[in-house]
A and B are shown apart, each in its own frame.
Chain A
Amino acid sequence: MYELRQVDKHFPGVHALKAVDFKVNRHEIVGLVGENGAGKSTLMKVIYGAYQPDGGDVTIDGTVVRFQNPRQAMNHGIGMVFQEQSLILNLTVMENIFLGYEQQFVKFGIIDWKAMAQAAKAQLAKVKLDIDPATTTSDLSFAQRQLVELAKVLTLEERIDGDLVILLDEPTSVLAKEEVELLFGLVRDLTKRASFIFVSHRMDEVLELSDRIYVMKDGAVVDVVAHDAADIDAIQHKMVGREVDKEYYREQKQKPYDAAQALVSFDQVSCGRRYNDISFDLHPGEVLCLVGTEGSGREAILRTIFGLETPTAGTVKIKGEQVTSFAAQSGVARGVGYIPRERKIEGIVAGMNVYENMTLSQMPNYSSGGVLKVGEEKAMARTWIERLGIKTPDVYKDCGGLSGGNQQKVVLAKWRSGGADIMLLDHPTRGLDIGAKEDVYEMIREMSAAGVGIILVADTLEEAIGLSHTILVIKDGAFQKRFDGTPGAKPTLYDLVHHMI
C-alpha cells in the first residue's frame, strides 16, 4: 500500500540513499535494521516528509505523492513516534496529543478544554493508558510518555480516512523489559488499524515483532527477510558485511581481577530517595555491573562516585581515601573517568574539535602556567585516533559532526589518555551499531587487563552478563543480590530478572 520506488537522496559529498525500494502492506509490521550511517534515519525522514527524495517515487496505493513537510505526510496518514522523547514537557498530555491540530476544539476562537480532554481520553484508551489528560507531561514516567507519543500518532486514525503508516524509531530504548512487552502487545493489537515500521538497534526485538525485516547497508537495502526465515547471525552478517565475532562479549579475554586492593569502596551509602544502604568494593581489573530497571538508582551510584551527587549517609572511599567533597573536579583528580549516557550532551562538546575534547578533562597536563601546549595536545590526539581507530579526517574536526561510535571513542580517549583508572560507563553502547559496539567491548577488556576498575551500567542484560566479573542487582534503590560472573559460571537472564522486578 505504501511504497518507495528507487528512491535516491544525495547530500553534499554523500549518497545517502541508493535506489531504495521499500514497501509496507496493510496490517503489517516492517522492521528496519542497519548500522549507524546505513541510511535508516534518512529513509525515515523521507517517509515522514522531513526530506524530499532527489529521485524515485513515493506512492500510496499506487498514486505518486510528494510531501513538502511532515504535516503533509501526516495528512496522508503517515505518523512518526520519535526516538528522542518528543513530547513538550511543560504542556499537558492532551495538548501534546493534539499539538498543531487544536482547531477541531476551537469554537469562536475559544479552546473547549472539556472536549479536548474527552478526545484525549479516547486516544489514551487506545494505548491502554489511564491518566488524566490534564496532567503536565513532565510528571509522567518515561514509559508513560512513550505511550502518550503513540497515542498522539494514533490521532491520525480519526483525522485520516485512508490507511495509516506509523514509524516507531527506537521506541524501546528507555523502556524496561516488561514495558517493552506491553508496548509490543499494543502494537500487535493496533495492526488491525495501522501498519508499522519498526526501527531498533535491539535485534531480538526487531525479530520478535516484525513480519518482514529490511536490512540496510551503505544507503541501500541489502536484504529483505520474512519473520519466519529471519536469523540474527545472518542479518548481522548482512548489516556489518563481515562475520561477527562469535565471542561477541570477548569472554575469552576476561581475566581474574586483583581482589587484594579496592579502588572504590562503598560502605552503607545512601543518597536521598535515589538509593539506600549500598555497599560494594571495586577492584583493579574488575568489571562490575550494576543491573536494575530504569530509575533503580544505578546511574545515581555512578554519579556519586564521579562526584556529581552528594550522598546523604555512609562512607565512600576512593583508593583508600575517604571522599568528603563531592564535585566532578575532585572525582577527575582521583582518576575517575565517566562516560555518560547522554553522549551528545554530557560526553562531547559539540562545537569543539577532537583534540580539544580529548584534553578537556586534563588541561593541566597539556599546559604550563595556564598556557596550553597545543602541539602536545594534537600529538596526543593523533596517537589516540590511531589507537582506537577513530574515523575522523583530522584532529580539527568538530566532534559534533562525528558518528556516535566515534564520539564515544573520543570520550573514551579523553579519560584513558588522562590515565583514569576507575571508569564509569553509563550505557556506553547505547545507540551504537554492532561494529562500534564490538570496539567498545574490546576496549573494556583492554582496560580491564590494564588494571582499570570499571563500573558498568549496560544497555542490555546480555551485555551485562557477558562483560562483567561481578553483577549487583539493584531494585528501587536497594541492593538485591550479588552474582559472580566468572566465564562458564555466569548467571542467566532469568536469575537477574527475577531479582530486578
Chain B
Amino acid sequence: MSFIKKFIEQETVSRRNFLLASAYGVSGAAALRMFGPSPVQAMTFADPTIAWSYRNRTNPYWNEIVSGGEAFVESLGKSKEALTHLINEGSSEKSLADVKALLAKTNGELALAIDTNDAPNARPVVEACAEAGAFVSTLWNKTDDLHPWDFGDNYVSHMSWSDEKPAEQTARILLEAIGGKGGVVHLGGIASNNPAIERLQGLKNALADYPDVELLDAQPADWDTQKANQIMSSFLTRYGDEITGVHCANDTIGYGVLEALRAEGMSVPIVTYDGNPQAVELVAKGEILATVFTNPHWGGGITASLAYHAATGAFKPSEEPNEHREFYGPTIMVTPEDALEFKANYLDNVPTYDWKDYWGPSNGPITYK
C-alpha cells in the first residue's frame, strides 16, 4: 500500500504549499488591530476572579497545570476553591461559551488563564476578554497571527513551548541508543495540535543526521493511551523486528506503547515527552529512555499570575517588551541518570515558586517560521 501512501503524501505536500500561499501569503504579517492599544489606561481591579480554562481533568498534564494555578491562588492567601475551573472537554465551542458566561457573570472583573483547546479558538476568546475589559493569558494554543501587543493590556501574555528542539534531543538519545541504525516509529498527538506537529518535526530533524535510521511510520494516537496501544500493536504486525525504537509525542502515549510491547514480551527503547511523575519513574527504571519536563506546575501558576497581576495593575503589560508578552516555557530533559534527582527536586517536593518572577525560568521569545 505504500505506493498509495506515497502518492497521497505527494499530493498533500503540493496542496500544503498552496495552503501556505493562500493563507499566509496575502497579508500574514499585517495583523489586524481590532482593539488596538487603547489610549486610555485599561481599567484594573482590586480583586478579580481568577479562572483557569483547560481541556479536561483526565490527563495528568492538566492536573499539574491546575495544581500550579491553585498554588498561585493559595500564595495570595486565598483558599484553593477561589480558583474557578472551566473545563472544555475538548470542545472549542464549550471553551468559548464558558468564557463568555464567566465574563458576563463577573462583569469583566476576571483574570483568565486559558488553553483554548484549539488554535483558532484563541482569537474569539481574547477578543471577548478584551471587549469585556478582562485580562487573559494564554497557554499553548493560538494562531500565529494573534499577538498580545495588539490588544493593549488585556491580552497579557502567551506562553508556549518550542517542542521541536527538546523533541529533537530526545530523538537523538533514542537514535544513539539504537546504535544509529534500524527503524523507528512515531506515535503522535491529535494531528492538528501544534505540539504534535512540532514533536514529530523534532524527530525528523534528528533523523537527518542518522541516514541509517528509517522513519517507518508516524500515526496520530490523539494523546490517548488506549489508541496508542492499538496502533503500536498494529505497527508490530506491519514492521515486526524492524522497529528498533519508538518516539512518542507524550507520556500517555508512551504508556500505551509500553503495554503493547509488554503484551508481546518485547522491549524496545522508547522516548516520551511531558515529564509526568509516572513517566519519570519509568525513566528512572530505565523503561523509558528520556522524557521532557515542561514544568506544567510552574506554567499553570505563572500564567494565572500574569493575568492576575496585570488585572490588579501590579504591572502594565503594554509597557513590557514583546519578549515578555510571548515567550517559551522552560524545558528540562529527564534521563535515567538524573531521573531520581529530578524527581526529588520537582515532583516529590514541589518547589515553592516566586509567582512574581514572571519571566525568570522562561526560555526566550517565541519565534515564527
Chains A and B touch each other in the complex, with CB atoms below 8 Å apart: no
